[in-house]
Chains A and B, each alone.
Chain A
Amino acid sequence: MTAATAGVTGPPRRSLWRRTLNSRTAYTFLFPALLVMAVITFYPLVFQVWMSFTDYGLKNLKPTSPAPNFVGFNNYIRILNSDIVIPNFDFLRILTFNLFWAFTNVVIHVILGVAIAILLNVKGLKGRSIYRAIYILPVVIPPIIVATVWRNMFDPQYGAINQLINSTVGVIFKLPPFGLEWLTKPDPIINAYPLVLPLAFFALLAANTWLGWPLNSVVATGALQSIPGDLYEAAEMDGAGGWMKFRVVTLPHLRPAMLPYAIYGFVITFNLFYLSYFMSGGGPFGQTELLITTAYRLVNEQYLYGVAAAFAIFQFFILLALTLLTNRLAKTTASYDA
């Protein structure tokens, strides 16, 4: 009876394990998922590795067209040397920008999220539930809509941001119409190659801050509410003040909830397609292009399927390295509080 194993918690006993080695039931349940994933996930991934060593292009698309040529590591070398016929392609700059983008966003989201969660957790605050209901709104709007709406908000002529500046600061100081080109201003604010940050970066950052902090705040709220009140009382007995209590009681309790979520947020932001693609279009001069939007353009605009495959494999290894690194960081720093 395979079902007997279901009752076993912890490591299964040898006899039970042996009986369930007959894995037929399990594979019956798994069959549809394995079939689907084998066909549309694992096979394409293997095919992708093969593609990355060829010059697969438009000419090879038709069923009757010739097989692509084998080019060895040529695609990989071309990507690393930024030797690809795509406007403003610079692998090192894109990678640096992408890392910087994910990092700054997550730091801002976590700090704002925790701060606002603490604010809403203050005892005796009136209207708490109304604020909670309002603050969740950015989360429920589909990201593609958020991106297109913010693109229009930053429009130099008709966008809400410049008009807001016009109707407040502009009116007070009687300034001429303010038409800052948030998303297309060509000269970067920070130009320390490989880190190049145009004004568009800050516009993207603003939009993603609006989008990102509320969920962090929700996670932080959950963690805050699970802190037993007597810990604060005990800290008080020891003469701890507000800041001290935050450091010794609140922070260590927030950490286990916030850290996995921050790592998750980092990966999500690292691969955030919509804002870069719709708001700035990767511009100006490809300076706000991410790996993921570059990968998309390689297929969608350049028809370089072989190069795109090699690019995706780079992406895979970069993500793998990031995941291992963040997990390692999480583990090594965890020992302090445990």
Chain B
Amino acid sequence: MTTQNTLAISTPVAKPKAARKRRHKDDLSLRRQILLQLLCLAIAVTVLFPILWIVSMSLDTTNARPTGLNLIPNNPSLEAYKTVIARPTQNAVSFIQLALNSLLLAVLISALSVTIGVLAAYAFSRMHFRGREFLMIGILAVLMLPAIATLAPLYVLLNKVVIGGFNLRDSLFGVALAVLAGQLPFAIWNMKGYLDTIPRELEEAATMDGASRLQTFLRIILPLATPVIAVTAFFGFIAGWTEFYFSWQFLDHEQNFTLAMALNGMVGQYAGSTPWSSFAAFSILVALPVSVVYLFLQRYIISGLTLGGVKG
């Protein structure tokens, strides 16, 4: 019966009819097709509305404050992007500086969580050793905690690491360490789940040929684990790129500020002076790089999700 699923949502109370006319499998009556199309379109409109609104606002430079709903901008121009790249905040710090700081944070977290994480994931996935269960439970317990839960001790402890004029707490490295504390358990767990699915026969064959543990890992496991490594690296990158609460708490000096911190200053209630077109352009500039990569990696991210992994 072609309409089985539709009935479930459009008319949940439909009575079962024993003798219903059987249509061809892939057939859908015109009325039903139109009805479903309207429903799908309505959903698409709600999904697209905020995105269209922000894109339109970023291109519309006639108003500092939108006074009417315009999804098609008046006099579209890239003026707002130019303005915001030249001077994103009231401070002297440039967009490039903010972006470089965010990039440094993102790359540090991504690289560290993957390289350290994949080694541990391999050990957990393939080796039996004393204390394995204990360590895995330890990592799972940390995974459950939100990153902010260690904000106070990390702030106090990192603040104690002072070398000359350099305070680890007041640096992007300190922020990266704090974020890594939350990101590493996730990276280990995520990659372990994938490594578990790689058949062990391949390694056995390599071992027979006299390959060492490290060689098997580097030549066999790593290439096969590329999708999960890419996804985990990407999640680390997003965590750093959009990091807000540690940087907002830790960093004192403008030259270390990140894009997410600047964004905070642009949100309506705090900044009466930021034109909304600048806010819109800035949001898009921050979101675009990660959103585009996400779309490309989507297939891998989602396959990991539907495999029944703990983490998405």
A residues in contact (CB < 8 Å) with B? 1-7, 9, 12, 17, 20-21, 23, 25-27, 29-30, 32-34, 36-37, 40-45, 47-48, 51, 56, 60-61, 63, 115-116, 118-127, 131, 134-145, 148-153, 155, 157-160, 163-164, 166-167, 210, 214-215, 218-219, 222-223, 232, 236, 239-246, 250, 256-257, 260-261, 264, 267, 271, 273-274, 278, 281, 292, 295-296, 298-300, 305, 308-309, 312, 315-316, 319-320, 323
Whole-angstrom distance from the CB of B259 to the nearest CB of chain A? 9
Contact of B283 among A116, A140, A145 (CB under 8 A): A145
Contact of A257 among B123, B150, B306 (CB under 8 A): B306
Find out whether the CB atom of A23 lies under 8 angstroms from the CB atom of B130: yes
Find out whether the CB atom of A6 lies under 8 angstroms from the CB atom of B27: no
21 contacts between A and B (CB under 8 A): A21-B130, A26-B123, A26-B128, A34-B135, A44-B181, A140-B298, A142-B241, A144-B260, A152-B276, A155-B268, A166-B69, A241-B14, A242-B4, A246-B4, A260-B308, A273-B146, A295-B148, A296-B249, A300-B248, A316-B145, A319-B146
Which secondary structure dominates where chain B touches chain A? helix
Tally of contact residues, B, Cβ under 8 A: 125
Find out whether the CB atom of A264 lies under 8 angstroms from the CB atom of B310: yes
Whole-angstrom distance from the CB of A105 to the nearest CB of chain B? 15
- A-B contacts counted at CB < 8 A amount to 349
Contacts of A309 in B (CB 8 A): 152-153
Q: Give Cα A278–Cα B305 distance, bound, in whole angstroms.
A: 28
Contacts of B149 in A (CB 8 A): 295, 312, 315-316
Find out whether the CB atom of B127 lies under 8 angstroms from the CB atom of A296: no
Whole-angstrom distance from the CB of B108 to the nearest CB of chain A? 13
Q: Kindly report which residue of chain A lies nearest to residue B243, judged by CB atoms.
A: A144
Find out whether the CB atom of B7 lies under 8 angstroms from the CB atom of A41: no
Find out whether the CB atom of B148 lies under 8 angstroms from the CB atom of A296: yes
Q: 6 smallest A-B Cβ distances: which pairs?
A: A241-B16, A242-B7, A23-B129, A222-B306, A124-B28, A33-B120
Find out whether the CB atom of A250 lies under 8 angstroms from the CB atom of B5: yes
Beyond the given A151-B268, A241-B20, A242-B1, could you list 8 further A-B residue pairs with CB under 8 A, ordered by the A residue number? A32-B115, A45-B150, A48-B150, A119-B9, A142-B287, A145-B283, A151-B267, A236-B1
**B200 in contact (CB, < 8 A):** yes
Find out whether the CB atom of A312 lies under 8 angstroms from the CB atom of B152: yes
Q: Kindly report which residue of chain A lies nearest to residue B287, judged by CB atoms.
A: A145
Contacts of A299 in B (CB 8 A): 151-152, 155, 249
Q: Kindly report which residue of chain A lies nearest to residue B211, judged by CB atoms.
A: A3
Whole-angstrom distance from the CB of A54 to the nearest CB of chain B? 11
Find out whether the CB atom of B26 lies under 8 angstroms from the CB atom of A124: yes
Given A116-B43, A124-B27, A218 contacting B14 (CB threshold 8 A): no
Find out whether the CB atom of B50 lies under 8 angstroms from the CB atom of A153: yes
Given A5-B128, A23-B130, A36 contacting B116 (CB threshold 8 A): yes
Which secondary structure dominates where chain A touches chain B? helix
Q: Kindly report which residue of chain A lies nearest to residue B245, judged by CB atoms.
A: A296
Q: Kindly report which residue of chain A lies nearest to residue B306, judged by CB atoms.
A: A222
Q: Give Cα A279–Cα B286 distance, bound, in whole angstroms.
A: 18
List B180-219 residues whose CB lies under 8 Å from chain A.
180-181, 184-185, 188, 200-201, 203-204, 207, 211-213, 216-217
Contacts of B103 in A (CB 8 A): none
**B51 in contact (CB, < 8 A):** yes
Q: Give Cα A267–Cα B204 distance, bound, in whole angstroms.
A: 39
Contacts of A159 in B (CB 8 A): 268
Contacts of B111 in A (CB 8 A): none
Whole-angstrom distance from the CB of B306 to the nearest CB of chain A? 3
Find out whether the CB atom of B7 lies under 8 angstroms from the CB atom of A243: yes
Q: Give Cα A167–Cα B69 distance, bound, in whole angstroms.
A: 7
Whole-angstrom distance from the CB of A152 to the nearest CB of chain B? 5
**B90 in contact (CB, < 8 A):** no
Whole-angstrom distance from the CB of A177 to the nearest CB of chain B? 10
Contact of B294 among A131, A139, A240, A292 (CB under 8 A): A139
Find out whether the CB atom of B15 lies under 8 angstroms from the CB atom of A241: yes
Contacts of A17 in B (CB 8 A): 128
Q: Give Cα A218–Cα B303 distance, bound, in whole angstroms.
A: 10
Of the stretches B31-39, B75-83, B93-101, B224-232, the one at the interface is B31-39
Contacts of A312 in B (CB 8 A): 148-152
Find out whether the CB atom of B283 lies under 8 angstroms from the CB atom of A271: no
Given A9-B200, A47-B157, A241 contacting B17 (CB threshold 8 A): yes
